[in-house]
A and B are shown apart, each in its own frame.
Chain A
């Protein structure tokens, strides 16, 4: 695998990991509670995502309702039929912003390194 292809693969992998994992209605069976659980461990205005019972994907941000955080959708519902295969619906204890910043830093570092390697290879030829 060339350096560029390896770098791009790592970039895509890091970006996917950096996205917030959607909470799922199937995790607990207690229905709309997943909208609240989607903000567990998150802070006001953090991004969040959850899936309904038929895997429609809802993306939004955590907002305070009655002194608790709930995931408020602010993007059109992504219907299950048109969405990509479900990402791992793990618990979401990590802050998405923390992950996103880490992912972006990784992207920049890897991209920069790959460009240096490619440039060096070009000069050798």
Chain B
């Protein structure tokens, strides 16, 4: 390498460094566009709704007054029965539900429960008795005591599951979602406790919650194979997109849309028709294209989340 080549090399490195400094994760080609498609209420499955979707005046999280779709859901998918969640015996080889851990999903079998101490490298994990019966919450009192953040000591080392029958067959939810998404003027909206959006079967798409306390009590809040489980407040809700809920495929091979976020932007599956993940996602896991405008792509099932934040002003989920 001659002297000039060395100088060019150093100049290249320097320019590269400057370019890296200039990039900021909060910026990028992800701003919502002017030709943003409106929410399409026809995507929702009627069986998951309490009644027809209507419009109403609403005030979004940023103070904008606009028109929202009012979507009242029954809290249970109409095309299937939720569950199963927990296996009942450690010798039970069939798959009950699913567990999410370490970025992966695991079939919840008796064998999986039997090996939790090894799985977590913690001998305190023992969710079964001497006869091999797994400790499963079997009443509303039990499930609510075991599922609360400060787990009732009586329900440590339990596989936690609740039944929709405890809540009248489903917890009714009301979503107000702007008909036309309103982009935030600056910054992003944080994900709170009310969920991040709604799937087309009417089930709330929930954000993750810190589970340190629950893990410390050696309990597993089992998911069914669709990535959902039940609690008293949210009813049946999803923590992962596994392909169970209805979706609308795209003719151009783009990932299918699976629901809408509370800010009205579309929530799309992780991968496109060829199985490829999108690139160029912003901090919220969204980006724009000419067909769909700004939209989100949900995270993988093992990540126990859907999107990172809201690019638009949110409606509400109650």
Contact = CB atoms under 8 A, between A and B. Distances in A.
Interface string A29-47: 1111111100000000101
B190 A32 contact: no
A78 B6 CA distance: 32
Nearest to B17: A107
Contacts of B215: 30-31, 33
B14 A108 contact: yes
Contacts of A77: 277, 300
A107 B207 CA distance: 40
A32 B102 contact: yes
B254 to A, nearest CB: 16
Nearest to B26: A45
A115 B7 contact: yes
B10 interface: yes
A66 B103 contact: no
A44 B14 CA distance: 28
Contacts of B100: 31-32
Contact of B10 (A4, A33, A61, A101): A4
Task: Name the residue in A34, A111, A121 with the highest tally of chain B Cβ atoms < 10 Å from its Cβ.
Answer: A111
Contacts of B285: 72-74
Contact of A53 (B6, B13, B102): B102
A115 B11 contact: yes
B103 A32 contact: yes
A35 to B, nearest CB: 7
Task: Name the residue in A25, A52, A112 with the highest tally of chain B Cβ atoms < 10 Å from its Cβ.
Answer: A52
A114 B121 contact: no
A81 to B, nearest CB: 15
B190 A65 contact: yes
A75 B282 CA distance: 9
B14 A112 contact: yes
A36 B18 CA distance: 31
A119 B210 CA distance: 56
Contacts of A29: 120-122
A101 to B, nearest CB: 7
B244 interface: no
A101 B102 contact: no
Interface stretch (B73-81, B158-166, B301-309): B301-309
A45 B283 contact: yes
A75 B210 CA distance: 22
Interface string B195-236: 000000000000111111001000000000000000000000
B21 A52 contact: no
Interface string A56-73: 101011011111101011
Interface in B270-316: 277-279, 281-285, 299-300, 302-305, 307-309
A31 B7 contact: no
Closest 7 pairs (CB-CB, A-B): A52-B103, A72-B308, A53-B102, A31-B101, A64-B190, A63-B308, A76-B277
Interface of A: 4, 7-8, 11, 15, 25, 29-36, 45, 47, 50, 52-54, 56, 58, 60-61, 63-68, 70, 72-77, 100-101, 104, 107-108, 111-112, 114-115, 118-119, 121-122
8 contacts: A29-B120, A29-B121, A58-B103, A60-B283, A61-B308, A108-B14, A111-B10, A112-B14
Given A35-B103, A74-B282, 7 more contacts: A11-B13, A31-B102, A33-B212, A34-B102, A70-B305, A118-B10, A122-B3
Interface of B: 1, 3, 6-7, 9-11, 13-14, 17-18, 20-21, 25-26, 100-104, 120-122, 188, 190-193, 207-212, 215, 277-279, 281-285, 299-300, 302-305, 307-309
